[in-house]
Structure 1
Amino acid sequence: MYIGLDLGTSGLKGIVIDDSQTILAEATAPLTVSRKADGWSEQDPADWITAAQTVLGALKSKLSLDGVRAIGLSGHMHGATLLDASDAVLRPCILWNDTRSSAEAAALDADPRFRALTGNIVFPGFTAPKIDWVRHNEPEIFAKLAKVLLPKDYLRLWLTGEHVAEMSDAAGTSWLDTGARAWSDDLLEATHLTRDNMPRLVEGSDVSGTLRADIAAQFGLPSNVVVAGGGGDNAASAVGVGVVKSGDAFISLGTSGVLFAACDAYSPDAASAVHTFCHALPDTWHQMGVILAAADAMNWFGRVMGAAPAELTGALGPLTAPARTLFLPYLGGERTPHNDATIRASFLHLDHATDSAAMTRAVLEGVTFAVRDSYDALTSTGTPIERLIAVGGGSKSDYWVQAIATMLGMPIGLPVAGDYGGAFGAARLGLMAATGETTAAASAPQIARTIDPVPALQDAFLARHADYQAAYKALKTLN
């Protein structure tokens, strides 16, 4: 058996799979985000450990874990977890959707070495500018800094006692030479750090350490359980759905929105604001466009309306031409293609006839237009997208998935019922680390059904997308 732990922004999920990759048990524990100021987003790493203990305890209550051979890890990327020389946490972790370090990011991005070596713009959400923000604003904390860990790798430290990261997550720090798959001394020096401040690097399917004896005993696990390198949340999800070779892609409609395409070679285009990262498998890379608020936009709108997002979307009926009401989903800034930390969301064209259904459609369509922006950015780099599947909570809305299919002009497959997200991908990586199996990640889930585009509506969606792009330019002048 193999355990996958996925540290998400809103909760930690754990699953157990057997050798045939059948899910035997699963459990979750909620997490909250602290937003002390505009653009800030933080979590207490102690809460991750508590959540992991809750999940492992729940899995133990459902089945015996004495046959577990490996644990794989997945987690939200870019978070800055700062430790002192005794591994004590120095401050709350600054999360992926925190944009306070926009000035620091711009300064680092102006150094041509960063784009040349990492293959990416230095976005405010990445780890390096956050550390620079701490250096400028919390010098007493920076002076004590001994190690920087990514969120899932803090879980690894608790599990194994080892400071280790893997390539897909490390590529989102702005310190990795992404083509060489190694830390860059030049980029570390630019933020007043050295390799001593960094964890050791492994591939996602490699063994990163062995489970500590006290944790094994606490949860009824064998003494020789290995912990795989794992992957950043999107790379692990890609392993979970078999998106590991060129031409394969998925759209994830989770808290954020991601259009992810696997690549057989390293071919960055930083100016497009497309992310070019290492994949969780050796000698493989991926490109993705990132929307900071996807399902999160519907969650926000549901809170405002006092209704569950599923209730709002379930009442829409079949896909229609885009609403006159227009929504720009920049609740906390945007990544691809704008790299804009200060832009904020907006409704346009509200009138007396606007009702909750029109506004719901506008929110879904606004994210759909943002997906098209990412699609255009990815394909402009020459990245092929030949097969597309949808995952994440938002993919449960046929209306939304068909809007995206129509906007992109290509069918979207929906996997059979089951979990193919980060936890499943992490468990697969655990299996690979424990057994040396090399083909597990290439297995795609069975497609339950395919959502086809509506050709009669595509011109209307394309025209409305042009309005959306013009609205961004207008909104930019106001922000």
Structure 2
Amino acid sequence: MDIGIDIGTSEVKVVLVDDAQRVIGQASAAVAISRPHPLWSEQAPEDWWSATQVALGKLREHHPKEYAATRGIGLSGHMHGATLLDAQDRVLRPAILWNDGRSHAQCAELERRAPESRRITGNIAMPGFTAPKLIWVEQNEPEIFAQVARVLLPKDFVRLKLTGQAVSDMSDSAGTLWLDVAARDWSDTMLSATHLDRSQMPRLVEGSEASGTLLPTVASQLGLQADVVVAGGAGDNAASAAGLGVTAPGTAFLSLGTSGVYFVANAAYSPNPESAVHAFCHAFPGTWHQMSVMLSAASCLGWLRRLTHATDEAQLVSEAEALPDGAATPLFLPYLSGERTPHNDPYASGVFFGLTHDHTRGHLAYAVLEGVAFSFLDGQQALLAGGAQIDSVTLVGGGSRSAAWAQLLADVLGRTLDRRSGGEVGAALGAARLARLARTGEAVADICVAPALQDSFAPNPARTAELAERHAQYQRLYRTLKPEMQRLSTAGQQKSEGD
């Protein structure tokens, strides 16, 4: 038995997997997000640990025999979060998350201090990454920065609680801008550029390697054996790839979750930072991947549900489907939290354009579905421009449950999308698979296999051509509004700071 723990942005999810790779049980516990100022996004690290204990408690309650037989634990988590600890491993401030946009100016400062940063890290400096956040803390909270003895990523804070060991894996660490991604080691140049050094970084292991075992007191508290192996694990996207069997070159997945991710496995390190495409280590030795990221995806539909008091997201999709063919719908820019690929623009904001008295909630719902799909198309174009090979794509995430949205995505992207069973637990399942690899040493290809095919959505060429015209309008709209978005966001931030 192995347990996979996924530290998500809105919840911690855990799965219990047997030796036949069947998911025996799963559970979750919610985690709150704080947005105290414009562009800010934070969480309390102790909440991750509390939610992990609650979720594991549910597994233990419902599957006591299988739970007690657990031999390995794997960890997955949202990437880039800056978790700052003092010399006694006490949390110094709320963790600054992946979708926090406050450190835009510090990105330019980092690249000025380290002119070779893009070559070393394979990525353009963006506010979501960890290193610029530390420059922001040094400049704005110097009393906090002076106490920083250790910087951990979210899942690695949970590892510290489980094992007492400060360890991270290659895939998650690649998102800090402190890793030499080709060498799979910390870069002294990048650490020095943020006035940090290796002593403040966790020890590095591969995702499929062991990072330690449970502390005896924690094992007793959780009802597990102390010799349970804790794997290196992975960032949430690389873990999802392990769970979906996206390990061979050309295999890909598209995650329609809170954020949106287009992930492509690569045979070699393939950086292309100028397109705002991420080039990271994969969860396995000697492997890498490329990724485009949008900061708001399915969360846009949840936002519209709250705004319009719809019963649920399914009601919104149903109303969008009921629109007559050729209905004149507004355009929607889904940049509710800024944007990464391809714009690298923390000031980008959400926009409905072209509203009239004739538009209903269903028109707005369709515009959201389409706008998110268009953002994925922007990401696909950036990946292809960066040399990515895309042969097959698996669609996952909460939004993938909608067949209508899946078909719209297939039409917009102009490629077939597969849905597979168990996709909803991809990252947690991948973490459990990494735990098994860490304790058994089995071959990746034997364990990280693709789940059973559920259904596929093939593009309609005529519809793809129609949507291409709408996409061109969508792109022109962003380019036109970009300067005003920056002015508006900057003015709002200055007002907040003045208050």
User: Fold-level match, TM-score > 0.5?
Assistant: yes
Deviations 1:202-259 (A, max 9, x none): 0000000111111211222112101000000010001000001111001000000000
1:112 deviation in Å?
2.4
Q: Distance in 2 between matches of 1:456 and 1:379?
A: 22
Which residue of the partner structure matches residue 89 of structure 2?
87
Matched with 1:393 is 398
Q: Which residue number in structure 2 is paired with residue 25 of structure 1?
A: 25
1:369 is matched with which residue?
A: 374
Aligned to 1:341: 346
Shift of 1:89: 0.4
Name which of 432, 442, 446 aligns with 2:452: 446
Alignment of structure 1 residues 223-372 onto 2, 5 Å: 223-307=226-310, 308-317=312-321, 323-372=328-377
Q: Secondary structure at the match of 2:53?
A: helix
Percent sequence identity over aligned pairs: 52
Distance in 2, matches of 1:442 and 1:215, equals 29
Conservation of the 8 A alpha-carbon contact between 1:245 and 1:262:
yes
Residue 403 of structure 1 is matched in structure 2 by: 408
Out of 80, 103, 106, the residue aligned to residue 105 of structure 2 is 103
Match in the other structure for 1:113 = 116
Cα distance, 1:321 vs structure 2: 5.5
1:427/1:323 Cα in 2 relative to 1: closer, same or farther (>3 Å)?
farther
Query: Does the Cα contact within 8 Å between 2:244 and 2:430 map onto a contact in 1?
Result: yes
SS in 2 for 1:315: helix
**For the Cα contact (< 8 Å) 2:5–2:15, is it kept in 1?**
yes
Cα drift, residue 452 of structure 1: 1.3
Separation in 2 of the partners of 1:241 and 1:321?
36
**For 2:252 and 2:327, how far apart are their aligned partners in 1?**
25
The match for 2:490 is: none
Hey, what does 2:223 align to over in structure 1?
220
SS in 2 for 1:445: coil
- Map of 1:183 onto structure 2: 186
Q: Report the CA distance between 1:106 and its aligned residue.
A: 1.8
Cα 1:196–1:162 change in 2 (3 A) is: same
How far apart, CA to CA, are the structure 2 residues paired with 1:419 and 1:290? 19
Distance 1:289 1:267 in 2: 13
- Structure 1 match to 2:493: none
TM-score by length of 1: 0.98
For residue 45 of structure 1, what is the aligned residue in structure 2? 45
* 2:461 maps to amino acid: P
Q: Which residue of 2 aligns with 1:127?
A: 130
Aligned to 2:497: none
Q: Deviations over 1:446-473 (max 9, x none)?
A: 1111011122211110000000000001
Tell me how far apart the structure 2 counterparts of residues 433 and 265 of structure 1 sit (CA, whole Å): 23
Give the Å deviation of 1:323.
4.8
For residues 138 and 387 of structure 1, the distance between their equivalents in structure 2, rounded to whole angstroms, comes to 46
The 3-state SS of whatever aligns with 1:112 is coil
Deviation at 1:318, TM superposition (A): 7.6
How far off is 1:66 after superposition? Answer: 2.3
User: Following the alignment from structure 1 to structure 2, what is the Cα–Cα distance between the partners of residues 418 and 359?
Assistant: 28
> Quick check: 1:455 aligned with 2:461?
yes
Q: Does the 8 Å contact 2:275/2:342 carry over to 1?
A: yes
Give, in whole Å, the separation in 1 of the partners of 2:403 and 2:185.
Answer: 42
Number of the residue aligned with 2:13: 13
- Shift of the alpha carbon at 1:324? 3.2
Q: Count how many residue pairs are aligned between Structure 1 and Structure 2.
A: 479
Question: How far off its partner does 1:279 sit?
Answer: 0.5
Flag the structure with higher helix content. 2
1:317 & 1:97 partners in 2: Cα distance? Answer: 31
